[in-house]
Structure 1
Amino acid sequence: MKIFISHSSKDEDIYTNLADSLRKQGHTVFNAIDINIGENWIEKIKNALYESDIFIAIITENFLSSSWAQAELSSVVLGTNNIRLLPVVVGDVFVPSFIAQFQYRKVKTEEEIISAVLTDIAKLSNIEDNPSLFQKKGIAQVEENNLEEKIDLLKAALIDNQLTLVCGAGVSRDSSIPTWNELLVNILNEVYSNDHDLNTENKVTAESLLSLMPQSNLILGKYLKIILKDDFNKTVQKHLYLYYNQFYEFEPINPNLETNMMKAIVELSRPKRRGKRLESIITFNFDDLIEGALSNHNIEHISIWKEGQAYGIDALPIFHVHGFLPNKRDIIKPNLVFSEEAYHSQFIDPYSWSNLIQLNTFSTNVCLFVGLSLSDPNLRRLLDISWRRNQRCKHYIIMKKSPQKSRTDEIATMLFEQDANSLGLNVIWCSDYSDIPSILLKIAK
């Protein structure tokens, strides 16, 4: 049989030993070193994949960090030829869902790989008696099993006081807090609201301005800061909480009115019998909704948004790494990362307090990311640095999975998970945003 072994270059010894053993059994194993100088590398790989009978993927931490190895795997998973896929998972590597949907072999040590692979390939001669071998599993059952396993690991991190919750805008989506674009639109509309002399056709609208400047909304933030000057922070604060305050105008804020997301975050933050709880919260949001929810339940906490702030060991630290703008009080220097120059300043300063907090947390704790899209270049850079430094510390991100109605949907889902894996993140898929609080509550139990 013709066999293609996909592996990370860091696992060359594993590949060599397995390939030698397969060749001794009479199989033909593709070897990249056989590609001559001047030949089309990609075309040779494609032809080798197409002509192979079996594709073996050696799944290690190195493999999940290798873009090239994962690209080879993607071409097989989404391919149309009849190549049989045999993933071999080595050690305690968590199996991504795009791999787990296939029957895979799991071994504890590198030494077990050869005997396991030879055993499975021998079964191919009697494949009718082994119909499940090399076949796909039911994806729903795979994801359910994966979810339970990940929840157990996150529970263990919480009990050990090593779990950090990392929050993006998605955690505030049900609390009447505007999205980034909505906030910009609302502030821009106020800035241009005095332009009464223009007729309707010539009047500037914030929506049209945003559509004409898709390259970066941070650019608009820079100009708003220039135009509003000393009123900038107050204006942002006003529009940040405008709908939230209108909603609660005639209703006192109490625990019964909290969203399911805030209730779940409260439960994660609540000290357990053994005194364990979240180690910290990192948020990219300006608002103080989490603080308000924790206060309602008498959970001791402290907001950190600038360098030099101290806190006691009994207080749960909430790090506002993009600045802090509480609802009912004014603070000096909220340090908002709202405009392009503020973002660039944070990006280029490796010793900024916010970068150091994130790097240290990503390198030492288990982090659960909620309400983020992984599109922030600075966050991606910090995750990549911490993952390169310590590949023993894996993190998790909860993401809504779009319905897999087309090949494009499948590719997008797989590429996102591969990208997350390369940054040290395991993906927890859910079918709807409303499922996220229930996942958090399972971890908190």
Structure 2
Amino acid sequence: MRASSLLHPPLIRSPVRLFRNWCRVTSMERLTKSQHFPPEAIADLSKSSASGFMKLVETLEKREFALVLGAGVSNSAGLPAWTTLLYKICSAFFYHWEWELQHGQTSTHKPPQNLSIAFANEIFWSKDSVRKAEAFITGDPLLVAQQIKNCIRPADWKWLLRRALYDIDDLVQHDGSPSELIKMISSLCAIKAGRIRAVISYNYDDLLELCLKADRVPYKPIYAKPIRNTAALPIFHPHGYLPIHGGPAESTFVLSEDDYVQNASQPFSWSNLVQLETFAQYPCIFIGASMKDTALRRLLRLSRTTHAQAHFAFLPASEPMTQQSEMFDALFDHDLKTLGVYDVRYRVSEAPKDRHERLLKLIELAITCSCDRKKIWDIRKA
């Protein structure tokens, strides 16, 4: 199979559909690229970030591109980050073990192999039970997750993952509501529908898909094997796909220790090929990704051996801003450039609900405006 066949062909849209899409957009989206954003709009960005942002704006205006979404996107909607997800999986398993001990169904020498959802209805957990569960996972949660996966049935592993991903607590499940960040990403997909060639999401959830559906943006989640010639926006889930309601039986998940080893040992798997092709063919915009994952960095480095694309990563500035933290950020960002990634660092708000408010405004600027490089640099030098 040719790698180029993994991504969809240029979208062909009828004038009627284009007009209907235009009628649906908000007043913010009706702004045109003829409007330059004022220089003060990025006055808080460092020289490196301002340069990267202006290059990003020009890319959005002229080039086809791809989006790459990390755990921070789903976390903005209240879903757990990777470490928290592992912690919750381990906790749920050991809570279950403790529940079986209390009901005389097992012993301390025999880990449960068939999980029952009955224990999920047990609301009360003693402090001693919680303490025991937490004690098991104070070490390496990735290793403990692998040990649990080796112990139970595949269906139970999927059930544990679902509960850890979507259950806010023992009584409340996530309702699928998107965050403002996910809404903004959906707007970007709607406005730039003809230029976004692919979305790569390292998240298991379908919150973006639900938002795209509400915005009437055609999409196709791809999680097991590449689909040729889809007219919809392909959303690749290389680490697995677990929608909030139901889910495909054939989806596999990259989460435990063995999963990462197997993924690294199969360089020509469909998921690795899709990422390599995307990184090599299109400028990519990374949102919610820490850019520290060794597998991601390896693929970015490999992609540059064929085509050296310019990529962009929105990253939160270190807090508090000290001389030392600025030095750490500068070293990290300099290293990113060896991978072809330009940093756009933004200040994080102190308010928990508005932590990424500045990121939203930067994405809005990138969607709706163009930039006058000379004017901006002249003012910054003054």
Q: TM-score, normalised by structure 1?
A: 0.60
Higher relative contact order (CA 8 A, sep 6+): 2
Query: Deviation digits for residues 388-416 of structure 1, max 9, x if unmatched?
Result: 4333x111111111246544213211111
Q: Which amino acid aligns with 1:400?
A: P
Aligned residues: 293
Query: Deviation digits for residues 34-87 of structure 1, max 9, x if unmatched?
Result: xxxxxxxxxxxxxxxxxxxxxxxxxxxxxxxxxxxxxxxxxxxxxxxxxxxxxx
1:306·1:335 contact (CA, 8 Å) conserved in 2?
yes
Relative to 1, partners in 2 of residues 1:408 and 1:148: Cα closer, same or farther, differing over 3 Å? closer
- Computed over aligned residues only, the root mean square deviation of the Cα atoms, in angstroms, reads 2.7
| 2:91 is the alignment partner of 1:189 | yes
Match of 2:310 among 394, 398, 403: 394
What residue number does 1:225 align with?
A: 149
2:53·2:344 contact (CA, 8 Å) conserved in 1?
no
Match of 1:418 among 319, 326, 334: 334
Match of 2:200 among 282, 285, 295: 282
| 2:287 is the alignment partner of 1:367 | no
Match of 2:179 among 259, 265, 287: 259
Q: Kindly state the Cα deviation for residue 387 of structure 1 after the two structures are TM-superposed.
A: 2.4
CA distance in 1, matches of 2:346, 2:62: 26
Q: Kindly state the Cα deviation for residue 353 of structure 1 after the two structures are TM-superposed.
A: 0.7
What residue number does 2:223 align with?
A: 305
| 2:261 is the alignment partner of 1:334 | no
What residue number does 1:444 align with?
A: 367
Query: Deviation digits for residues 17-43 of structure 1, max 9, x if unmatched?
Result: xxxxxxxxxxxxxxxxxxxxxxxxxxx
Query: Deviation digits for residues 185-206 of structure 1, max 9, x if unmatched?
Result: 2222221224255996697644
What residue number does 1:50 align with?
A: none
Structure 1 unpaired stretches of 5+: 1-139
Relative to 1, partners in 2 of residues 1:166 and 1:201: Cα closer, same or farther, differing over 3 Å? same
Q: Give the match's secondary structure for 1:389.
A: coil
1:161·1:279 contact (CA, 8 Å) conserved in 2?
no
Q: Kindly state the Cα deviation for residue 156 of structure 1 after the two structures are TM-superposed.
A: 3.8
1:358·1:382 contact (CA, 8 Å) conserved in 2?
yes
What residue number does 2:35 align with?
A: none
1:268·1:277 contact (CA, 8 Å) conserved in 2?
no
1:151·1:442 contact (CA, 8 Å) conserved in 2?
no
Q: What percentage of residue pairs aligned between the two structures are identical?
A: 26
CA distance in 1, matches of 2:210, 2:132: 34
2:90·2:145 contact (CA, 8 Å) conserved in 1?
no
What residue number does 1:101 align with?
A: none
CA distance in 2, matches of 1:203, 1:286: 27
CA distance in 2, matches of 1:142, 1:248: 35
2:167·2:174 contact (CA, 8 Å) conserved in 1?
no
1:284·1:322 contact (CA, 8 Å) conserved in 2?
yes
CA distance in 1, matches of 2:47, 2:324: 25
1:189·1:205 contact (CA, 8 Å) conserved in 2?
no
Relative to 1, partners in 2 of residues 1:146 and 1:376: Cα closer, same or farther, differing over 3 Å? closer
Q: Kindly state the Cα deviation for residue 419 of structure 1 after the two structures are TM-superposed.
A: 1.5
Q: Kindly state the Cα deviation for residue 149 of structure 1 after the two structures are TM-superposed.
A: 4.8
CA distance in 2, matches of 1:407, 1:144: 14
CA distance in 2, matches of 1:162, 1:218: 37
1:264·1:441 contact (CA, 8 Å) conserved in 2?
yes
Query: Deviation digits for residues 356-405 of structure 1, max 9, x if unmatched?
Result: 111111111000111111221111111111124333x1111111112465
Q: Give the match's secondary structure for 1:143.
A: coil
Q: Which amino acid aligns with 1:365?
A: Y
CA distance in 1, matches of 2:44, 2:226: 46
Q: Kindly state the Cα deviation for residue 424 of structure 1 after the two structures are TM-superposed.
A: 1.1
Matches within 5 A, 1:341-380: 341-380=258-297
Query: Deviation digits for residues 81-124 of structure 1, max 9, x if unmatched?
Result: xxxxxxxxxxxxxxxxxxxxxxxxxxxxxxxxxxxxxxxxxxxx
Query: Deviation digits for residues 405-434 of structure 1, max 9, x if unmatched?
Result: 544213211111111111111100100133
| 2:167 is the alignment partner of 1:242 | yes
2:201·2:237 contact (CA, 8 Å) conserved in 1?
yes
Q: Kindly state the Cα deviation for residue 333 of structure 1 after the two structures are TM-superposed.
A: 2.0
2:315·2:343 contact (CA, 8 Å) conserved in 1?
yes
Larger Rg: 1
Q: Which amino acid aligns with 1:354?
A: S
Query: Deviation digits for residues 154-174 of structure 1, max 9, x if unmatched?
Result: 344334452111111001122
CA distance in 1, matches of 2:54, 2:322: 32
Q: Give the match's secondary structure for 2:79.
A: coil
